[in-house]
Structure 1
Amino acid sequence: MRPIRASAILRIAHPAIASMGGVAMLWALPAAAQRAARFDIPAQNLATALDSFARQANVQLLYPYPVAAARRSAALRGEMPVRAALDRLLHGSGLEVARFGERTVTLRAAPVRKAKPAPAPRPPAQRKPAAPPAAPEAPVAEEIVVTGRAASTPLADTELSYAVTRIDADALARRGPLSTADLFKQIPGFWVESTGGEASNNVRSRGIPTDGYSSVALLEDGLPIQYDGGLGYLNTDQIHRLDATVARVEAVRGGPSAIFTPNAPGGSINFVTRTGLADPGYTLSATSGSFGYARIDGFAGIRLTPELGVSLGGLYRRADGLRDPGYTGDRGGQIRAGIDYDDGRARLSFNVKRLDDRVVLYLPVPLRLDDRGTVRGIPGFDPLRNTLAGPDNVAVAFETPSGPRLFDLSQGTRSRITFYTLSGRYAFDAATALEVKARLRTGSTLRNGLFPVGRPMGGDDYLASVRSQLAAAYPALAVVRIRYADGGEAFQPASNGNGLVASANLLSVAMPMREFVIDARLTHSFDRWGHHEFAAGATHDDARLDFDRAMGTVLLDIRGQARRLDVIALDGNGNQIGALTDNGFTRYGSLFDNAVLRSSNLAFYLADEWKIAPHWRVDLGMRWEHVGIGGRMEPAAPIDLGDSATLADNAVLTGTGTFTPIRRRFSGWSGTAGVNFTPSRHAGLFARLTRIARLPSATEFTSTPNRTDEAIVPIVMAEAGLILHHRSWNLSAVAFRTRFKRLPFTDYRFDPQTNAYLNRTSIADTATLGLELAGHVELAGPLALDMQATLQDPRYRNFSYTELVSGQPVSRDATGNRLIRVPRLSLSATPSLKLFAGRLRLDMELVHHSERFADIANTQRLPAFSLINVNANAKLTGHSTLALHITNLTNTLGLTEGNPRLGAFDTGGTGSRYFFARPEFGRTARMVLSLAF
């Protein structure tokens, strides 16, 4: 028998399953059979008719293609129950219903029944009472997964040889994530830092020691949103927003991600979008939040014919900011328009998405340690609500050799990006298909931020630290004073409530980028020593990135919405004879980069899903990839702008006018092998071994084109898992081990004394052993419980470095230390209560993270913390819902990271009373009213 063929998945959320996030299929639900739909299917080939039926009934239909392709169907027109319509369509076709679910229907060839000879007459016998019919087996929830596989034929998650997390539209609505990164907190094995705001966050998976999205790929409909998620200052989440056009999310944890997707050893997260063909209908939602948050989301999908649909959707959002910057922090949105065609054999889709949005980039805030070593806020600064960013730094001029350059902090992370996506699939027959996907991305991203450096210190202590520098420049110096740059009033301890000051960098990075990526995949199924689903594909990416980075260092007071300070030198008569600063700047041009980068990637991959026996599967895959990195960079040199009244312009970094070429080439092989044993459709066990070659990223050569410490990093990942489904509970348990070798670690530290960055690099290994758990259980009555946990032991191996102590080199050994910022234990438990026949659902999410360290030396401890989040969802009518989302209900002060500008290797521990770190946001509340038709 040929493999069954899956028509397009047509999904519409249903109240009966709204209480179970991540469930894609429920068997034998009477509501599905009785639900009515309108059909208009002419007499034609049965395979084509079944595809049309699936679209019009809003179900996924699996059937043996050769049987259907050899038959013709009768016409089917009118409104009728879905099951009755299917029975009419199948009458006399040789097919019958094997399984009828709410969203998925499976057909099989009907057995040929031979007529039995009439039995010989028997004497009448006393009839025994008929035995009562056997009770039907209770339905068991199963997930159908298509991401991260060689073939598009759906498989239940129990049949997979890797771990997957599926988040459907109902779960997205229930949780109401504030950002893309916030959504990933629902994925076991992921450590997510979403404290940067709606963009520019960090994600780590399974002990992988790299930040941003350098090891976790974000996809949209199976194609990378950005081919290289590890580009400096250009995280993938900066150019992606969640909105009403997202139908579901499928996250592959480890497994075969690195075979099918670039830069994805830790996993791939696929955002599957809604279409007018698969998801016709209209949705509209309005959100109001406690921090000036206002947002509108909408989607309209129209099926023009059974084979053609159009859609339009997007969002617009405006907010003051999760921390108050004194101006509108977040403003903008995105819109997507698409058209889709699917006749059952040929499928074609085209959509355009435009993102025009700006969001605040939140950075570490000042904190203190009390006498017992407990982290506290500083008087005059609320660490849950305040930020150093403020109106005083919204419009500031940098002095440069070519004149002033305006810096606007209110721009934050500003993305103006357009995506054009075209995809198509053609089935040559039941066994062979060609699929091609392509995306063009144009536009630019501007990232302006205020980055605190060093540590907060008292004003007098700061003056003492710079007095010798001023005395050398101005011999007549008698007194040093601090005053505000905007008004000239003296800075006193009472000025900001704490008397503290700190240095900060006003950093601006402009990154215009054009990228084209195309993926072509040929799939073929055949029978030889079992059944094979084979795929061969190629991916090509071509990107051009302009990188323009400029920075100035300023002195600020410590307060919410900090103000710039000037340090002036006075003679014995009280006359100003000079200044350390100018308009608050201690150094203009403390960083400069100008580069043009080109990256060209070519990858070939092969994969085979081999069903060797009824309960056994073997999955094999390999990938070869080559990257060519080219371009040019302009070296920088310091220039004295010649203003003798200040030291701020004595060493302004600027371009030399000459360019150094960048020419680097890397290539490597990756491979994976997995095995799955499925003793029943309710249970699955798997094991997998993956070896990955991680290639360097283009922006690693922005400032140092001739660096020799960048090379291919070999990664070995092993995992083994168990997946169980029961009618009232399910469980996923995955053990993993991750090993990185020869990975460069760079200590990129800003020195407040010289107002310049210093860096050093050490090559080291890492190893992580861990366990991921996820489960759901229906408790007594209306109670249910969802839980997930990640327990891991991430360690550095073969890590040594040298640092200067009192001018002498001292060797340090970090072998055995824990990876920075990764907790040993992350735990989430969400009890839920469904009331009024499921029309009201209340969730309370309890989150706990164990202690972490902010540096490789493990000297700065980030304490353990716990959070409580609350979600309430009420179905008002058949078309409207109301949701309430409250995060950090108890206003917990939980630190997610320290201050990277203080150094990654050794921050000096907690010897100082004051320090910078980035905490979770304070309590927020949002209310969402949604309409769906």
Structure 2
Amino acid sequence: MALATPSFAQTAPVEPRQLSSSPTVIVTAVPRGLNRLDASISVSTISPDEISVLSPRSTAEIFRNIPGIRSESSGGEGNANIAVRGLPIATGGAKYVQIQEDGLPALQFGDITFATADSFIRADLNVLRIEAVRGGSVSTLVSNAPGAVINLLSKTGETAGGQVRAGFGLDYDEYRLDFDYGAPIGNDWRFHVGGFYRRGEGPRKTGYDGNRGGQIKGNVTKDFGTGFVRLYFKYLDDHAVSYLPAPVRVTGSDADPRYESLPGFSINGGSPYSRNIRGALTLDRNNRPVRDDIADGMHPLVRQIGLEVQIQPGDGWTLRERFRYANTSGRFIGLFPALVDNASTIATALGGAGAGLTYATGPLAGTAITAPAGLNGNGLLSESVVFDVRLRNLDEIVNEMRAIRDVNIGGGKLTLTGGLYLARQYVESDWRWTSLVSDVRGDGNAALVDIRNAAGQRVTEGGVYGYGATFFGNCCRRDYDLRYDIAAPFAAMSFLKGKWSLAASLRWDNGRARGNLGGLTANLASVDVNGDGAISAPETRTTVLAGARSPVRYNYDYVSWSTGLNYRLGRETALFLRYSRGGRANADRILFGPAIDATGDIVDKGAAVDFVRQAEAGFKYRTRRMEFYATLFHANTEEQNFEATSLRFLDRRYRATGVELEGSYFSLSGLGLTAKGTWTDAEISRDAITPANKGNRPRRQAKFVYQLTPQYRQQLFTIGANVVGTTDSYAQDSNQLKLPGFTTVNLFAEVRPMPGVSVSIGANNIFDVKGFTEAEEATISANGIVRARSINGRTISATIGYSF
């Protein structure tokens, strides 16, 4: 319950002779199920048993244990930045990585602003395993994912059994109940259903139940002699706190910084959220006053149904149909510090000389702050912007048809695949932001602060300085109604003869964007937002949407291709080579920059699609108890993007070279060890906007990341640890301020005192390490305050489970 993802370990009797649980046959980003040693791609799997030992607090924390994947798991249960093989995270989200459930994408674009794909999935007891393919065939067998595909595969009830798990945080407030059950039900029918519900403050202090909600998923399958038909559904309604950058003290130099928590604010255990900062009064897309609740956090609401059919009519044919409709909406709301400084400095800057401060909310509301230098032990105030985004419609309709034919020819086996992928993605949202002034404390008791000028006149009202992104230059009143249609025919062939396997594939993506948007320019007005009949100072700083809207109307198309060669050195070893070119269509992030003209068309056709070219060479070794995989890679990446909050347009090229390593060993005695590591040498090879960045390392890209997971498994117990580490990186592309490397240790122990019963404890970041994944500043600021995101501090949870 205390885990954001639950303990997955089975509680049935366990053989001490535990084998590697990595499956031989993979199904992700391949035309059909394929033996791992015969595939000329780099692929990794994570099993439920492995997830248990990781003690994750979010799905993103699971992903960071995939070699080649850089998962910045510091944002909570969503809004993670995910990249692969040195491909950039230029603005946020997972631009070059697609997250799938059962072979179809959670969203068509992994970096929709404030609606990243990982925010709309939850890993729970429904997960059979996770497969991740980097490079190679992902360019041609999926759309908009030239870097990687991470696929969460669901259980489908082949064997009867289920679990119930209940848990709680031992040193933090969260309670969780998980269940799943599946079984054959006669006449070749089978089913599986599972889900979770959780509630609590979460791993950081907020002063209220920031994490609350749950999920239920299920499927029913009818098997017949030549295939199967499966219907499935999912309902997700969850709230999770969004941990955005927060203030931290940095001393030393940019090259050798020392990051320290501020007095009264723990950077990895606290948050700016508070029971005293809940309401956000603002204007909706029709410029009408509304009051939103900051406690809504990241709120995905998904109602999903799907169909999968596979038929083998004979003569070497296989026909497959996959369809999904997801009715998706939600909200993203969080506090982002635009500036953190001394209280007196902010009071003077906003209210002039002689300005005074009083509490606006909380138990001291109306009380004057007479000694601002000693406020909360740090003497600081925060100018914060409420990122308040209503995700009205993210509905997705997906259909993929494949026809596969096996032909024996020339003493080998030729497999031909043809298919058509059709998708429609809606992106309809409005940004209704507000600017606040608050004190700086991280115990869930922070309060809004009012400022009065020397004449006693209010500069703020209830802590509100402006009804808009006033602290961001009034940049971000946005509203858009968009629809993206994709049609992508694709073809693939593979020829297997003896020890050799040749693969090639081609995809032609055709897309069109239609819709309209508002908010291209700031429109300041005086509006009686609170309805009291008077215009206050903050109400003169209200950003409204103008009546005129701008069209979005353009088409694009691009061709992706990939070819690979695999050679089996022996029964247990193989070598492969692969070269690919894949594209990624840009979506909403380019709409507010210079890429779109007044008619809604693309000014520069190159801005519609960015390409990734990758070369790979790999070695694979697998026995019953040992595995080792090594892949050399080289990637050239195009990137055109727009960061709407900073109003930065990006036009760059990147180059990355590196190696992925993955190995595991499971002994007869129950001892197991899994080790993974990725070394990456990445650079900005061209920057059309800021040429001085050429040759620099992309921001937040470490040279080396690694994971080490030892475990010992016996009939009555399992113990294990997960070590995750990274070397230094840079906060920004200018390569000044460093983000220090760090290593975290997670511990897991489970006892099975009787058949079907388990008791487990999971400790995440047991040594309470401060690990920074991003920082807003390019260099240490004059006041020594940097806005940064740290991973969660130490959290310990206990779980009781029963399997049947």
TM-score calculated relative to the size of structure 2: 0.90
1:399 is displaced (CA, Å) by 6.3
Give a deviation string over 1:773-794, Cα, whole Å, max 9, x none.
1112357965442211111011
Whether the aligned pair in 2 keeps the contact of 1:859 and 1:910 (CA below 8 Å) is no
Cross-structure match for 1:608 = 493
SS at match of 2:182: strand
Which residue of the other structure, out of 605, 625, 636, is the alignment partner of 1:739? 636
Which residue of the other structure, out of 205, 211, 214, is the alignment partner of 1:324? 205
Whether the aligned pair in 2 keeps the contact of 1:147 and 1:250 (CA below 8 Å) is yes
Q: Is the aligned partner of 1:624 residue 2:508?
A: yes
Q: Is the aligned partner of 1:162 residue 2:41?
A: yes
Q: Is the aligned partner of 1:797 residue 2:685?
A: yes
| CA RMSD of superposed structures (Å) | 2.3
Separation in 2 of the partners of 1:585 and 1:21? Answer: 57
Q: Is the aligned partner of 1:283 residue 2:163?
A: yes
Q: Is the aligned partner of 1:532 residue 2:414?
A: yes
Which residue of the other structure, out of 152, 155, 171, is the alignment partner of 1:271? 152
Q: Which AA in structure 1 matches 2:433?
A: M
Cross-structure match for 1:920 = 791
Give a deviation string over 1:148-207, Cα, whole Å, max 9, x none.
21223x41x222101111122322333343222111122101111111111111111111
Cross-structure match for 1:435 = 320
Q: Is the aligned partner of 1:845 residue 2:750?
A: no
Cross-structure match for 2:575 = 685
Instruction: Show the 5 A alignment for 1:617-766.
Output: 617-635=501-519, 637-641=523-527, 646-701=536-591, 705-706=596-597, 708=603, 710-726=607-623, 728-741=625-638, 743-746=639-642, 748=644, 758-766=646-654
1:646 is displaced (CA, Å) by 4.5
Q: Is the aligned partner of 1:587 residue 2:466?
A: yes
SS at match of 1:708: coil
Q: Which AA in structure 2 matches 1:409?
A: I
Whether the aligned pair in 2 keeps the contact of 1:228 and 1:262 (CA below 8 Å) is no
SS at match of 1:772: strand
Q: Is the aligned partner of 1:893 residue 2:770?
A: yes
Give a deviation string over 1:569-626, Cα, whole Å, max 9, x none.
123xxxx1x3332221222122311211111110011111211x31000110110001
Cross-structure match for 1:773 = 661
Give a deviation string over 1:43-85, Cα, whole Å, max 9, x none.
xxxxxxxxxxxxxxxxxxxxxxxxxxxxxxxxxxxxxxxxxxx
Give a deviation string over 1:390-422, Cα, whole Å, max 9, x none.
112212323689553202111111122100011
Change in 2 beyond 3 A, CA 1:345/1:778: closer
Change in 2 beyond 3 A, CA 1:622/1:371: closer
Separation in 2 of the partners of 1:18 and 1:221? Answer: 30
The aligned length equals: 760
1:337 is displaced (CA, Å) by 2.9
Instruction: Show the 5 A alignment for 1:107-146.
Output: 143-146=24-27
1:436 is displaced (CA, Å) by 0.4
Whether the aligned pair in 1 keeps the contact of 2:107 and 2:425 (CA below 8 Å) is no
Whether the aligned pair in 1 keeps the contact of 2:17 and 2:667 (CA below 8 Å) is no
Instruction: Show the 5 A alignment for 1:17-416.
Output: 19-24=18-23, 143-152=24-33, 154-155=34-35, 157-210=36-89, 211-276=92-157, 278-290=158-170, 291-370=172-251, 373-398=257-282, 402=287, 404-416=289-301
Separation in 2 of the partners of 1:833 and 1:391? Answer: 43
Change in 2 beyond 3 A, CA 1:363/1:532: same
SS at match of 2:145: coil
Q: Is the aligned partner of 1:446 residue 2:308?
A: no
Q: Is the aligned partner of 1:483 residue 2:369?
A: no
Q: Which AA in structure 2 matches 1:381?
A: F
SS at match of 2:61: helix
1:910 is displaced (CA, Å) by 5.0
Whether the aligned pair in 2 keeps the contact of 1:637 and 1:654 (CA below 8 Å) is yes
Whether the aligned pair in 1 keeps the contact of 2:707 and 2:722 (CA below 8 Å) is yes
Separation in 2 of the partners of 1:268 and 1:452? Answer: 33
1:367 is displaced (CA, Å) by 0.8
Cross-structure match for 2:737 = 860
SS at match of 2:569: strand
Whether the aligned pair in 2 keeps the contact of 1:593 and 1:703 (CA below 8 Å) is no
1:18 is displaced (CA, Å) by 8.0
Whether the aligned pair in 1 keeps the contact of 2:18 and 2:667 (CA below 8 Å) is no
Instruction: Show the 5 A alignment for 1:559-598.
Output: 559-560=441-442, 561=444, 562-571=446-455, 576=456, 578-590=457-469, 591-598=476-483
Cross-structure match for 1:51 = none
Separation in 2 of the partners of 1:466 and 1:868? Answer: 44
Q: Which AA in structure 1 matches 2:381?
A: V
Cross-structure match for 2:439 = 557
Which residue of the other structure, out of 583, 599, 607, is the alignment partner of 2:484? 599
Separation in 2 of the partners of 1:312 and 1:197? Answer: 26
1:758 is displaced (CA, Å) by 4.7
Separation in 1 of the partners of 2:593 and 2:538? Answer: 23
Separation in 1 of the partners of 2:29 and 2:295? Answer: 40
Which residue of the other structure, out of 673, 697, 701, is the alignment partner of 1:822? 701
Cross-structure match for 2:712 = 833
Give a deviation string over 1:72-129, Cα, whole Å, max 9, x none.
xxxxxxxxxxxxxxxxxxxxxxxxxxxxxxxxxxxxxxxxxxxxxxxxxxxxxxxxxx
Give a deviation string over 1:311-360, Cα, whole Å, max 9, x none.
32211111211111000011111112322101131310101111111111
Give a deviation string over 1:433-467, Cα, whole Å, max 9, x none.
2110100011311111111113x211222234345
Change in 2 beyond 3 A, CA 1:831/1:894: same
Give the greater-gyration-radius structure (CA): 1
SS at match of 1:859: coil
Change in 2 beyond 3 A, CA 1:840/1:490: same
Separation in 2 of the partners of 1:831 and 1:12? Answer: 20
Which residue of the other structure, out of 525, 536, 543, is the alignment partner of 2:425? 543
Q: Is the aligned partner of 1:421 residue 2:318?
A: no
Separation in 2 of the partners of 1:570 and 1:15? Answer: 73
Cross-structure match for 1:29 = none
Whether the aligned pair in 2 keeps the contact of 1:595 and 1:702 (CA below 8 Å) is no
Cross-structure match for 1:497 = 377
1:727 is displaced (CA, Å) by 5.1
Which residue of the other structure, out of 366, 384, 396, is the alignment partner of 1:515? 396
Change in 2 beyond 3 A, CA 1:509/1:396: closer
TM-score calculated relative to the size of structure 1: 0.78
SS at match of 2:399: strand
The higher-RCO structure (CA 8 Å, 6+ apart) is 2
Whether the aligned pair in 1 keeps the contact of 2:744 and 2:767 (CA below 8 Å) is yes
Separation in 1 of the partners of 2:103 and 2:11? Answer: 21
Whether the aligned pair in 2 keeps the contact of 1:860 and 1:910 (CA below 8 Å) is no
1:911 is displaced (CA, Å) by 4.7
Q: Which AA in structure 2 matches 1:168?
A: S
Q: Which AA in structure 2 matches 1:582?
A: E
Q: Is the aligned partner of 1:506 residue 2:403?
A: no
Separation in 1 of the partners of 2:41 and 2:11? Answer: 27
Q: Could you list the runs of 5+ residues in structure 2 that have no partner in the other structure?
A: 1-9, 470-475
Change in 2 beyond 3 A, CA 1:300/1:626: same
1:532 is displaced (CA, Å) by 1.1
Q: Give the % identical residues.
A: 25
Q: Which AA in structure 2 matches 1:640?
A: S
